[in-house]
């Protein structure tokens, strides 16, 4: 019989997450009445909301009383459900990554979102619960204990700024802004959305007027939006990387940091499935290489574990002893067709070049706007040329499989450190005639690595690490 180390109920935030839609339905008529300054509607809305909230509180109390967790020396048991009980057991030996997140709204309530990623990639591969801060820390210390805080990577000053710029995700920030705008319109109606839009657009219009001094009107507005989204991405990344540091204690890698949005990840070194370097355009300009680790069902997240400059591979070796991030040897270019790597960018370039030619003849004012997708497609053509010269896969004797491939503008180098991976070779009649194939590797974290136009004999010589 295993000794019980800790047990209790989930944090009440767990109930709020379940009944949040009902709470939002209560707030919508109340906010609308306040915006319209209608006292009679406000009193009526308050009465309706009080009844709904009482019913939700009763249901939430019953549900909270039937949920909980139990932590032993070897497992974490979770219980959920009101009418239909669901019990799950997460074995300590199967835990690959443990993540503690405390965004601002959880910090106000003293809660922590605890996410456990298991080493297996099938079935229930992860579980998320909300626990009080101290209890979540105690669970983390039992499942993946950290005995010392010997810092391996703690960027300051210029290196901190480089980490911030490398971690900034413009696409994710833009999607977040669009979703937030849609949710604002859906929840609070057109009135509040119109007021916020007028305030935001008024500030952006001033920046646009400055850019119109050197750019056409359409390009000035586009540059203003890119500038605003990039500023938001940098600000969020700056908050997320505050106090960021990486430690290694025995078989556990600890990465934590963030101001306001505190995040801590514990990665079991024995469960790491791959090490990945993503060379984005920003990383190339800064001459830095961000490193991401995948373990079990955990895919690497949006924050690199560390950032190093070429020639400083010893930092990666200190994090992963016995591993050297040597790039794969370049493949043989003879018989490798350019069309496989250039067709997407070339097709887009031809299409927008034709549109630009028509605009010069019929609609000259639209020409500057068409120049932007034309330049992006030209960049894709150049990235395809680089992929044609650099994509490949190799394996040193007794070492891991190293694959290098390009997606859009990002060149990725992946080292496979596990034997739990599937390899698939795909051939067309043409590629078979030249002795080449497309090699696809699938990891437990559902990461797919596809390397194009690999020599068939190179793919057949690969050996999985056992």
With b meaning 16 or more CB within 10 Å and e meaning fewer, what string describes 76-105? bebebeeeeeeeeebeeebbbbbbbbbeee
pLDDT at position 105 over 90: no
CB 274 within 8 A of CB 257: no
**Does some domain include residue 71?**
yes
Rounded Cα distance between 166 and 280, Å, is 8
CB 144 within 8 A of CB 120: no
Domain C-terminal end among 371, 388, 405 = 388
pLDDT at position 299 over 80: yes
CB 375 within 8 A of CB 435: no
Report residue 196's pLDDT band, with 50, 70 and 90 as the boundaries: very low
For residue 394, the model assigns a pLDDT of 85
Instruction: Give 162 or 68, the one with higher predicted confidence.
Output: 68
Q: Please spell the DSSP secondary structure of 346-410, one letter per residue.
A: HHHHHHHHHHHHHHHHH-GGGHHHHHHHHHHHHHHHHHHHHHHHH-EEEE-TTS-EEEEEEETTE
Task: Say if residue 322 is in the same domain as residue 349.
Answer: no
Domain C-terminal end among 373, 388, 403 = 388
Q: Give residue-wise pLDDT tens across range 235-268.
A: 777 777 778 889 888 889 999 888 878 889 999 9
Task: Say if residue 401 is in the same domain as residue 454.
Answer: yes
Q: Give residue-wise pLDDT tens across range 112-167.
A: 999 999 987 676 788 888 999 999 999 999 999 888 777 888 887 777 677 777 77
Task: Say if residue 43 is in the same domain as residue 115.
Answer: yes
Cα 449 to Cα 29, 274, 293, 380, distances in angstroms: 49, 11, 15, 19
Helices (H), 144-216: 158-167, 170-211
Instruction: Give 281 or 217, the one with higher predicted confidence.
Output: 281
Task: Say if residue 129 is in the same domain as residue 88.
Answer: yes
Domain C-terminal end among 79, 113, 145 = 145
**Does some domain include residue 158?**
no
- φ, ψ of residue 154 to 5 degrees: the values are -145, 90
Mean pLDDT of 260-286: 89
**Does some domain include residue 152?**
no
CB 268 within 8 A of CB 144: yes
Task: Say if residue 141 is in the same domain as residue 256.
Answer: no
In the chain, the percentage of residues whose pLDDT exceeds 70 is 77
For residue 32, the model assigns a pLDDT of 63
**Does some domain include residue 466?**
no
Task: Say if residue 407 is in the same domain as residue 308.
Answer: yes
Burial class, 204, CB count within 10 angstroms (exposed 0-12 / middle 13-18 / buried 19+): middle
Query: Mean pLDDT of all residues in the chain?
Result: 79
Q: What tokens appear for 444 in the block?
A: 């437990």
- Residue carrying the six token digits 């830095």: 288
For residue 38, the model assigns a pLDDT of 62
pLDDT at position 202 over 70: no
Say what the pTM is: 0.80
- Residue carrying the six token digits 């935030």: 13
Task: Say if residue 420 is in the same domain as residue 326.
Answer: yes
Task: Determine the angle formed by the axes of helices 170-211 and 20-36, rounding to 10 degrees.
Answer: 20
CB 268 within 8 A of CB 421: no
CB 257 within 8 A of CB 241: yes
Which CATH number goes with the domain that contains 111? 2.30.29.30
Task: Say if residue 271 is in the same domain as residue 402.
Answer: yes
**Does some domain include residue 106?**
yes
For residue 319, the model assigns a pLDDT of 87
CB 244 within 8 A of CB 81: no
- Residue carrying the six token digits 């795909």: 426
For residue 379, the model assigns a pLDDT of 92
Report residue 178's pLDDT band, with 50, 70 and 90 as the boundaries: very low
Task: Say if residue 109 is in the same domain as residue 195.
Answer: no
For residue 195, the model assigns a pLDDT of 46
For residue 8, the model assigns a pLDDT of 85
Dihedral angle over CA of 135, 248, 252, 301, nearest 10: 80
Cα 203 to Cα 18, 173, 196, distances in angstroms: 37, 19, 11
pLDDT at position 395 over 90: no
Q: Give residue-wise pLDDT tens across range 431-461.
A: 888 888 889 988 888 889 999 988 888 888 8
Give 221's contacts (C-beta < 8 A, 6+ positions apart): 208
Task: Say if residue 48 is in the same domain as residue 134.
Answer: yes
**Does some domain include residue 417?**
yes
Mean pLDDT of 339-367: 87
Helices (H), 66-169: 104-109, 133-143, 158-167
Residue 360 sits at the vertex; the CA angle it makes with 356 and 364, to the nearest 5 degrees, is: 105
Q: Taking Cα atoms as reference points, which of 135, 103, 141 lies closest to residue 262?
A: 103
Q: What tokens appear for 143 in the block?
A: 């499942």
Report residue 37's pLDDT band, with 50, 70 and 90 as the boundaries: low
Rounded Cα distance between 312 and 213, Å, is 44
Domain count, the chain: 4
Mean pLDDT of 299-325: 84
Task: Say if residue 35 is in the same domain as residue 99.
Answer: yes
Instruction: Give 411 or 43, the one with higher predicted confidence.
Output: 411
Report residue 25's pLDDT band, with 50, 70 and 90 as the boundaries: low
For residue 363, the model assigns a pLDDT of 78
Its domain, for residue 114, covers 4-145
For residue 188, the model assigns a pLDDT of 44
For residue 373, the model assigns a pLDDT of 85
Report residue 29's pLDDT band, with 50, 70 and 90 as the boundaries: low
Which of 125-134, 281-290, 368-377 is predicted with the least confidence, judged by mean pLDDT?
368-377
**Does some domain include residue 224?**
yes
Q: Taking Cα atoms as reference points, which of 118, 142, 114, 117 lies closest to residue 129?
A: 114
Instruction: Give 111 or 199, the one with higher predicted confidence.
Output: 111
Task: Say if residue 413 is in the same domain as residue 324.
Answer: yes
**Does some domain include residue 198?**
yes
Q: Taking Cα atoms as reference points, which of 282, 276, 314 lies closest to residue 295?
A: 276
């Amino acid at each position: 019989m295993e000794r019980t180390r800790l047990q209790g109920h989930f944090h009440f935030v767990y109930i709020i997450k379940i009944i949040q839609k009902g709470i939002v339905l209560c707030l919508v008529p109340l906010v609308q009445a306040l915006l319209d300054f209608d006292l009679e509607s406000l009193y009526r809305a308050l009465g309706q909301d009080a009844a709904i909230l009482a019913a939700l509180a009763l249901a939430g109390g019953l549900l909270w009383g039937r949920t909980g967790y139990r932590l032993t020396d070897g497992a974490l048991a979770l219980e959920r459900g009101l009418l239909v009980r669901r019990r799950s057991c997460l074995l300590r030996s199967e835990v690959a990554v443990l993540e503690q997140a405390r965004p601002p709204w959880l910090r106000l309530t003293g809660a922590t979102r605890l996410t456990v990623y298991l080493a297996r990639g099938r079935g229930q591969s992860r579980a998320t619960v909300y626990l009080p801060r101290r209890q979540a820390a105690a669970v983390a210390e039992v499942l993946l204990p950290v005995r010392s805080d010997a810092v391996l990577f703690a960027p300051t000053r210029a290196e901190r700024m480089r980490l911030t710029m490398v971690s900034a995700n413009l696409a994710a920030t833009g999607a977040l802004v669009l979703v937030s705008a849609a949710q604002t319109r859906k929840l609070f109606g057109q009135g509040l959305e119109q007021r916020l839009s007028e305030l935001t657009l008024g500030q952006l219009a001033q920046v646009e007027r400055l850019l119109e001094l050197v750019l056409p009107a359409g390009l000035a507005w586009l540059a203003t939006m890119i500038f605003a989204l990039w500023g938001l991405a940098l600000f969020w990344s700056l908050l997320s990387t505050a106090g960021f540091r990486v430690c290694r204690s025995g078989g556990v890698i600890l990465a934590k940091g963030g101001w306001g949005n505190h995040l801590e990840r514990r990665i079991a070194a024995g469960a790491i499935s791959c090490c990945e370097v993503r060379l984005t355009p920003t990383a190339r300009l800064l001459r830095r290489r961000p490193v991401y680790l995948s373990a079990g069902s955990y895919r690497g997240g949006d924050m690199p574990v560390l950032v190093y400059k070429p020639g400083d591979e010893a930092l990666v070796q200190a994090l992963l002893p016995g591993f050297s991030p040597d790039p794969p040897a370049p493949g043989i270019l003879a018989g490798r067709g350019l069309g496989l790597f250039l067709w997407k960018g070339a097709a887009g370039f031809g299409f927008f070049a034709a549109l630009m030619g028509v605009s010069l003849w019929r609609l000259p004012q639209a020409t500057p706007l068409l120049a932007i997708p034309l330049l992006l497609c030209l960049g894709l053509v150049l990235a395809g040329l680089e992929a044609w010269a650099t994509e490949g896969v190799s394996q040193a004797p007794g070492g891991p499989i190293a694959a290098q491939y390009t997606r859009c503008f990002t060149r990725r180098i992946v080292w496979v450190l596990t034997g739990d991976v599937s390899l698939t070779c795909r051939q067309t009649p043409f590629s078979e005639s030249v002795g080449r194939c497309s090699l696809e590797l699938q990891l437990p974290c559902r990461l797919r690595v596809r390397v194009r136009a690999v020599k068939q004999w190179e793919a057949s010589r690969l050996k999985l690490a056992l």
